[in-house]
Amino acid sequence: MSEKLNYCCSTGSLSSQLDSDNNVILSDENKYSLVASNNNVILPEDGQHVFPKRQRMDLEFRDVTFSSTSWSMTKFQRETKKILHGVSGKFKSGELSVIMGPSGAGKSTLLNILAGYVTRGSSGEVNVNGVIRDQSPRFRKLSAYIPQDEELRLGLTVKEAMTFAANLKLGYGVTHQYKMQQVVEILALLGLDQCHHTLTSRLSGGQRKRLAVALELLSNPPILFLDEPTTGLDSASCSQCIYLFKRLAQRGRTIVCTIHQPSALLFEMFDKLYALTAGKCIYDGPSSQLIPYLNNYNIKCPPYHNPADFLMEVAIGEHNVNIDVLAQGAKESQIKEYGNKKTDESLKTFTKDDLLKISKENPAIAPAPVPMQFFLLYKRNLLQTRRNWLYPLNRLLAHIVIGFIFGYLYKGVGANANQILANYVYLYGTMLLNVYTGKMSVTLSFPLEMKILTREHFNRWYKLSPYLLSVILIEIPFQVLCTWTYILISYWLTSQPLDYRAYIFVFFVTIGTLCAQSMGYFIGASTSTKIAVFIGPVLACCFSIFGFCLRRSDTPPMFRWLFGISYFRAAFHGVVVAVYGFNRKNLYCPEEEAYCHYEDPSKFLKEMDIVNIDLVSNISLVVFIWCLMNAATYLILWFKLHKR
């Protein structure tokens, strides 16, 4: 270690001094200190109650391969590319293990396989404490995965984010006082104690990285995977993050992370270095032994050269290095250290009994019950919606403004017989407006949240069902409010009947917009962002043709089935029947008009082929499609979250 180290963060400074034994003593204003000597970091006893020691969880992998398959647009055939070529290794608890290599070497792929984040296309064996890790969610209870992009809830403050995470992840296993104590003390240990009331969107890059780690430390996982945790950070923030991971490893955790090209100072802090290039391991051992190891192959690192930079040069084939020779040498070293035998087939896989045995040391890892998950997620969504008040306010104002515009353009058309066609267009415009706003306001909900949802769900914060329900039940009341506000204004200005017909009118417009909303969720969950914003309006226009532009008798037989399943047609016919059906009396005909063709509204309904309409069947169709779209949305999201 160098004789002087300085780490600065927003909450104060982390300075250093030399003790009588010439060791470097690091301390901060929060009185959490450590002693660094010979590249070893010794944690104090202060943080034991915050980060209690866990059972040692050593991670070993053998002959791990991974192949990706993609469709070639030039050759019009599937192409398979092998990314990992049978790599093996072991990451021990109490060590900061780092996977290094140039871009495309397979670092993130290996990390994702070890974490269980990606399994399809891989083969090999992954063991936890000598027990075969299966593909069940049991292993995820013992680990946490933090992707390269931390994907945090930007609308929450630091303490709010931690509090929601604590209540979701710790459940009823501990008291509320204990959860809040964990939140405060973990934030203090990670240097975020002065950021409790700071919005996550206003944090620096290094602070966001530390917050992402803090959120996962609440359940005290013995294994922590981090993908490129220093990407996009300055040197000071990188030092803070690596220093933090070093401290966590010294508390008995297995810390595995990928780093592209660290500085010399960071390189010295690594306990274990695992170097990859072209999907092959070229070094597996202590970082301090890298240069002596390369010297054995007559690969000399120039004086004052950063070992990490030199390793990258070696990995890309510079200095006349034969990568295959290094890979073979690394494999022979691994055989000497780990042995050449695979795990005995008689060993059992990682079972629920193993999990229960480990969980006895920390019973608080059980997540909250499903009803509590829904309550917490709904509360979190409400808080974020309130913070982002400008978007819902614009939606409400748009409905108010359009309500007045429609009301002015079609003023008084609801009562006059000679303006019945104009009123027919108003009814159609009302349905189309609310279908559009209901669908397009939520189409991008899941595409924008998919990365956050994937991380939180993978780390077992909550189940999918309470999450989806909390999202839907946030949007339904607000969309209903917007719809009713528009109807209240335009319905009165257009002189529609003010009796029981008004309730039927409101009911059909409401279920129509909610059905469109459910279709918006489905489109957003099943397609990409660019496709979603295109296909949403197209489908709305397509379904609106039936029942308004086309009568059933005029619809070609090959498209008549669309007429039958169109939720827009069902809701629109319900609206028209509500206004002109139920044996409505003759409409008002101005005295100056000698003849009013549609004075009898039943005549208009007959010409529009809106007769013998079973409103119960129409309601059933709309409700059925609403349920079907929500169920399909759930299945699509479930498939995406479990497609590994």
8 A C-beta contact, residue 273 and residue 283? yes
d(CA 1, CA 39) in angstroms, rounded, equals 6
Tokens representing residue 206 in the block: 């290094």
Q: In the predicted model, what is the mean pLDDT of residues 268-281?
A: 91
8 A C-beta contact, residue 274 and residue 97? yes
pLDDT in tens, 571-597: 999 999 999 999 888 888 887 666 788
Q: Give the angle 382-383-388 at the CA atoms, nearest 5°.
A: 95
State the DSSP string of 117-150: S--TTEEEEEEETTEE--SSTTGGGGEEEE-SS-
Tokens representing residue 359 in the block: 């969980």
pLDDT in tens, 302-356: 888 889 889 998 888 887 788 888 888 888 888 877 766 554 444 455 555 555 5
pLDDT reported for residue 21: 39
d(CA 206, CA 237) in angstroms, rounded, equals 5
Q: Considering only residues 120 and 168, tell me which one the structure prediction assigns the higher pLDDT.
A: 168
- 28 Ramachandran zone, left/alpha/beta (phi>0; psi -120 to 50): beta
**Strand pairing of 7-9 and 12-18?**
antiparallel
- C-alpha distance from residue 66 to each of 123, 124, 411, 516, 639 (Å): 7, 9, 67, 42, 21
d(CA 172, CA 154) in angstroms, rounded, equals 27
Task: Please provide the average confidence, as pLDDT, over all residues in the chain.
Answer: 83
- C-alpha distance from residue 634 to each of 198, 280, 459 (Å): 34, 39, 19
pLDDT in tens, 310-324: 999 888 888 778 888
pLDDT band at residue 380 using 50, 70 and 90 as cut-offs? very high
Find the range with the poorest average confidence among 102-116, 138-152, 543-557: 543-557
8 A C-beta contact, residue 282 and residue 330? yes
Q: Is the pLDDT of residue 33 over 50?
A: no
pLDDT reported for residue 50: 56
pLDDT band at residue 250 using 50, 70 and 90 as cut-offs? confident
Dihedral Cα 400, 412, 511, 399, nearest 10 deg: -10
pLDDT band at residue 167 using 50, 70 and 90 as cut-offs? very high
8 A C-beta contact, residue 115 and residue 128? no
Q: Is 595 exposed, middle or buried (0-12, 13-18, 19+ CB in 10 A)?
A: exposed
The candidate with the shortest Cα–Cα distance to 521, out of 388, 375, 630, 425, is 630
pLDDT reported for residue 110: 93
Tokens representing residue 279 in the block: 């999907």
pLDDT in tens, 197-209: 999 999 988 889 8
Domains and CATH numbers, the chain: 59-365 (3.40.50.300), 370-642 (no CATH)
pLDDT reported for residue 409: 94
Give the DSSP H/E element, type plus range, for residue 250.
helix 235-250
Q: Is the pLDDT of residue 511 over 70?
A: yes
pLDDT reported for residue 10: 35
Q: Is the pLDDT of residue 11 over 50?
A: no
Q: Is the pLDDT of residue 375 over 90?
A: yes
pLDDT band at residue 364 using 50, 70 and 90 as cut-offs? very low
pLDDT in tens, 84-143: 988 999 999 889 999 999 888 889 999 999 988 888 888 888 888 878 876 556 677 788
SS3 of residue 474 by DSSP: helix
N- to C-terminal Cα distance for the chain? 41
pLDDT reported for residue 36: 35
Residues linked to residue 284 through DSSP beta bridges, in sequence order = 274
Residues linked to residue 90 through DSSP beta bridges, in sequence order = 60
Of the chain, the percentage scoring pLDDT greater than 90 comes to 40
The amino acid at residue 565 is: I
**CA 437 to chain CA mean position, Å:** 25
Q: Hey, how many other C-beta atoms are within 10 angstroms of the C-beta on 492?
A: 14
pLDDT reported for residue 2: 38
Q: In the predicted model, what is the mean pLDDT of residues 160-185?
A: 88
Find the range with the poorest average confidence among 141-145, 397-401, 492-496: 141-145
pLDDT reported for residue 484: 97
- C-alpha distance from residue 493 to each of 421, 501, 507, 550, 589 (Å): 17, 16, 19, 28, 19
8 A C-beta contact, residue 466 and residue 370? yes
pLDDT reported for residue 335: 83
pLDDT reported for residue 143: 87
Find the range with the poorest average confidence among 1-5, 324-328, 378-382, 563-567: 1-5
Q: Hey, how many other C-beta atoms are within 10 angstroms of the C-beta on 308?
A: 23
Q: Is the pLDDT of residue 534 over 80?
A: yes
Beta strand ranges found along 215-366 (DSSP E): 223-227, 254-258, 272-277, 280-285
Q: Which residues contact 21 (CB under 8 A, 6 or more apart)?
A: 37
d(CA 600, CA 611) in angstroms, rounded, equals 14
Up-side HSE of residue 608: CA atoms within 13 Å toward CB? Answer: 25
pLDDT in tens, 593-639: 667 888 889 999 998 888 888 999 999 999 999 999 999 999 999 99
Give the DSSP H/E element, type plus range, for residue 65.
strand 59-72
pLDDT reported for residue 134: 66
What does the DSSP 8-state code read for residue 349? B
pLDDT in tens, 432-487: 999 999 999 999 889 888 999 999 999 889 999 999 999 999 999 999 999 999 99
